[in-house]
Structure 1
């Protein structure tokens, strides 16, 4: 291992023991000959109740961790104890990556980077036309931000809770022209998709254990539409399969998960990661046959 220092990393959250993130990071560390240990930190799995997420972050820092990925429900809960925030994390109001240096904890958000990477990996030009986005929660915030940064002329938000969508518009309007965002009720979504060039699902609909349905009437899909889905279990949701059957460019949440991992690996180690290698590690971990 060339006598290099060992990186100690972790994933902090609940119900994460089956996460593929530790395996992706450790596989990339091995590929680069970099000593790296990545652990899942799940206090709920240990039987603890009323978890103090900020204290867990501080304890990880004191134990010598170099960084943490953070997932539900800690993304907002620990922001108050951080020593600094990236502009992206401050705008999105959530942190999913924390790096430690000199006793200080710095928070970043790579969720939007993951989605941008998925667009790039699939050759999608998000600036080519308007996009309908179903869901305005945590994942939806990052996706809408990524779309606006990519130059999407207008992002149409659809959420069962209109106030959540309006709140997202208010937050993003601090960085982008508010006229590029609009909110419509769910009953208008089908017509909106018919006139759009892109569609993204940012809800759990289609996820294993939730439903095998689609967040939108599949009859609204049309050739020329590109489709993204934040769900990665299964790798190809009902929505993604239907879009592919029409000849649409479509991708699932695996590309987003890998993009986040690639970005955070670089933040933790100071080294660029191979997106392709980490994607192959994800496929292997998910039990999906890897093309030879």
Structure 2
């Protein structure tokens, strides 16, 4: 399937931490430079590689890829769209955060097996805490109930959102996420919605956790006419940083939160998991901001 050559590549430097990112359409990722430059800053060689996979890779191929990564000496991998939930069946254990969220974006290869973590949860929570500390949180509309949507949803209810309104084109995914949230934090805290206009009208904030807005999937996940100046709007997409959704909301006078914070802070936590070293978040942010 072509992934074995990508996994092997050039041999890493002796003693280097070898990690990577698996996903589809990830060549624009800022993650490798953030990890490798922070590794250099703290004084050890760090080799972080992109493993760009084709869509529709089956369960057997994904299992073989993980075997190849372990055999090649990877200490772990980050996982992005579309594999954050698909990878669950190939792991031996889950951290508390991954178990609560029901999705994994970081896998450690250890002597005790493959351990799944979710650093997206903390990444979004920290971004929201720093970027929109005073945002109203009575009702929030979440667009997208996939792997990233699960992490964002749990972070939102834990950040004090009284009722989370969940919309996904796949109604079963939305219902599943709502059931998970209500089971964990109490009945009525989340509700799946089908009338996006009504939900947007009730919302203090709108969060996009879908891929819509990425360079490879331009557009907006919601009709711009449904966005009001009183609302805050957040997007987890980070390339481009100024998505069409955020540009539209900003023009209307909304407070906005880009995907930069989530991308940064999930990488900060993943770096610590891979290396055992606490990184300098400000230094990693400077690398993230250095991209054009």
* Range class of TM-score, shorter chain: 0.7 to 0.9
Correspondence 1:236 to 2:245: no
Correspondence 1:154 to 2:163: yes
Give 3-state SS (helix, strand or coil) of 1:22's partner.
Answer: helix
Give 3-state SS (helix, strand or coil) of 1:219's partner.
Answer: helix
CA separation in 2, counterparts of 1:183 and 1:74?
23
Alpha carbons 2:136, 2:204 under 8 Å: kept = no
1:110-150 deviation line (CA, Å, top 9, x unaligned): 12222112202303346742111122222221111110111
Alpha carbons 1:201, 1:229 under 8 Å: kept = yes
Corresponding residue for residue 24 of structure 1: 34
Contiguous gaps of at least 5 residues in structure 2: 1-13
Corresponding residue for residue 87 of structure 1: 96
Correspondence 1:281 to 2:277: no
Give 3-state SS (helix, strand or coil) of 1:194's partner.
Answer: helix
- Tell me the C-alpha RMSD between the 2 structures: 2.5
Give 3-state SS (helix, strand or coil) of 1:113's partner.
Answer: helix
Corresponding residue for residue 121 of structure 1: 130
Contiguous gaps of at least 5 residues in structure 1: 288-292
Corresponding residue for residue 50 of structure 2: 40
CA separation in 1, counterparts of 2:53 and 2:162?
43
In the TM superposition, what are the counterparts of 1:1-292 in structure 2 within 5 Å? 5-42=15-52, 44=54, 52-102=61-111, 104-125=113-134, 128-185=137-194, 188-212=195-219, 214-285=220-291, 287=292
Corresponding residue for residue 290 of structure 1: none
TM-score of the aligned structures, taking structure 2 as reference length = 0.85
TM-score of the aligned structures, taking structure 1 as reference length = 0.85
**Which is further off, 110-119 or 124-133?**
124-133
CA separation in 1, counterparts of 2:58 and 2:125?
36
Alpha carbons 1:122, 1:249 under 8 Å: kept = no
Alpha carbons 1:54, 1:77 under 8 Å: kept = no
Shift of 1:28: 1.4
Shift of 1:178: 2.8
Alpha carbons 2:132, 2:257 under 8 Å: kept = no
Give the paired residue count: 278
CA separation in 2, counterparts of 1:38 and 1:162?
37
Change (3 A) 1:197 1:74: closer
Change (3 A) 1:23 1:143: same
